[in-house]
Structure 1
Amino acid sequence: MTRSALLVLADGRFPAGGHAHSGGAEAAVKSGRLKDAADLESFCRGRLHTTGLTTASLAAAAALGADPYALDEAADARTPSPALRAAARRLGRQLMRAARAAWPSPELDLLADAFPRGAHQPVVLGTAARAAGLGPEDAAHCVAYETVSGPATAAVRLLGLDPFQATAVLARLAPAMDEVAARATAAAHQGLDALPAASAPLLDLTAEQHATWPVRLFAS
């Protein structure tokens, strides 16, 4: 395992397209449910323990070398919102381009050929982690971090939130990220049927509403 590869994959500047997505924060801001740093922490904590746990387990399973077709179907089944499924595949397609440039790999090539319109992002991320010499817990940590860092970054733009406050939120969530990554990795080791299916119905509903907005700052 190379720590530097983990830092590259988790870096917000890695050109995987995540900067264009708010993780549901934009809809939460518009509805008045996300107004300040305290709200941001609650929002991120809830997202981390639901959709974050689910996607982290998918990424960990992919890093272990699980069947990508089965994993992609599992991701579809765990993503009720058509808008979020479409966003996950767009992000997967963009991540695939970046990952193949950074870590050329036959496994990435096969996945790209199998899903020309994009596999689900956590499936691609786990495969990219494997290509980079990383393990399942590394992949899970990447997902856990991006689950909360995306909304935090978006909140700075959407609310004019002090970036120091947003960073402090991420620091306070660090133990929870570690916990979620560990749970996701343990589930991945038990096989496909053991992968969590935790969901956040309000995120699914607001994602569908957000997709219909004629003007929006973020893609999701």
Structure 2
Amino acid sequence: MRSRSALLVLADGRLPTGGYAHSAGLEQAIRQGWVTDIDGLRDFLRGRLHTTGLMNAAFAVAAWKAVDESILAEAAPTSPSTAESTSGTGTPETGTGAEATLLDLNAELIARTPSPALRRIGAWLGTLMLRSMRSIHPHPLFDSLPKNLQQPLVYGAVGRVLGLSDADTAATVLHEAVTGPATAAVKLMHIDPFQAHGAIIDLAADLDEAADRAADFGRGDPAEIPALSAPLSDFAAELHEGDNVRLFAS
């Protein structure tokens, strides 16, 4: 798959990775009165872009870097006898170095996610993305990644397999960070869908700049990636989990 086509596929809101069931905290923000109109939605999207979105994109780049070309070569299809000898189960290994790095990245990202609800959602969305990619674009690497990785780390591995650059992988994560809640807003607020998409277009320059920043952060020491979580988002996630009447899972 050409990287440009892969970018469009991953950025497509119709990709069955769970985004259609999650509002990224917007539903609870509306319920609490923090977002009441299109201007509030714009502020919500901008805040998400420059906090959680930027941090997640940086971790996606770090995961992209962890899955280097040698790991992809190790995970390439081989003869049955070779595959069995490498793993004992018939599944090629990704290499203990990459697995350890991804697990370390997972721990770093979880440490920057105070809300237990958001941690569970992140692991679930990562699992769902892997399940989707195994059907859409099967690759041995997807069967050998550590379990319960947070979604941004899975994005990084998927971007690497599909031939995206690290910056394009970051851009995809950031795109999902704002389009998910913007799409949910149409159902939750009954606003004009053209206004919702206009709010995304208004963030175009910010999205490009944030993708470059995320790539710079992700290429460095993962321990130095800023903890850009948003306290109100964490609070909203905990409230939402205990809410018996809700349209979206988050």
TM over 0.5: yes
Q: Tell me the percent identity.
A: 48
Q: Distance in 2 between the 1:186 and 1:103 partners?
A: 28
Whether contact under 8 Å (1:103, 1:131) holds in the other structure is no
Cross-structure match for 1:28 = 29
Q: Deviations over 1:56-103 (max 9, x none)?
A: 001111111262111111111111100000111110111001122233
Cross-structure match for 1:43 = 44
Is 2:156 the counterpart of 1:122?
A: no
Q: Distance in 2 between the 1:193 and 1:72 partners?
A: 11
Is 2:128 the counterpart of 1:94?
A: yes
CA RMSD of aligned residues (A): 1.1
Whether contact under 8 Å (2:108, 2:223) holds in the other structure is no
Whether contact under 8 Å (2:167, 2:215) holds in the other structure is yes
Is 2:226 the counterpart of 1:196?
A: yes
Q: What is the aligned length?
A: 216
Is 2:47 the counterpart of 1:13?
A: no
1:169 alignment partner, one of 196, 199, 212: 199
Q: Which runs of 4+ in 1 moved over 4 A?
A: none
Question: Does 187-196 or 100-109 show the bigger shift?
Answer: 100-109
Question: Does 123-132 or 190-199 show the bigger shift?
Answer: 190-199
Distance apart, 1:120 and its partner CA? 0.4
Distance apart, 1:201 and its partner CA? 0.3
Q: What is the one-letter code of the residue matched to 1:55?
A: N
Structure 1 unaligned residues grouped into runs of 5+: none
Cross-structure match for 2:241 = 211
Cross-structure match for 1:4 = 5
Q: Deviations over 1:139-184 (max 9, x none)?
A: 1101111111111111100010100000100000111111111101
Cross-structure match for 1:68 = 102
TM-score, normalised on structure 1? 0.95
Q: What is the one-letter code of the residue matched to 1:124?
A: V
Distance apart, 1:185 and its partner CA? 0.3
Q: What is the one-letter code of the residue matched to 1:87?
A: I
Q: What is the one-letter code of the residue matched to 2:37?
A: D
TM-score, normalised on structure 2? 0.84
Distance apart, 1:206 and its partner CA? 1.1
Cross-structure match for 1:109 = 143
Cross-structure match for 1:146 = 176
Mark the structure with the bigger radius of gyration.
2
Whether contact under 8 Å (1:21, 1:150) holds in the other structure is yes
Q: Distance in 1 between the 2:156 and 2:204 partners?
A: 21
Question: Does 155-164 or 130-139 show the bigger shift?
Answer: 130-139
Distance apart, 1:106 and its partner CA? 2.9
Q: Distance in 2 between the 1:35 and 1:11 partners?
A: 27
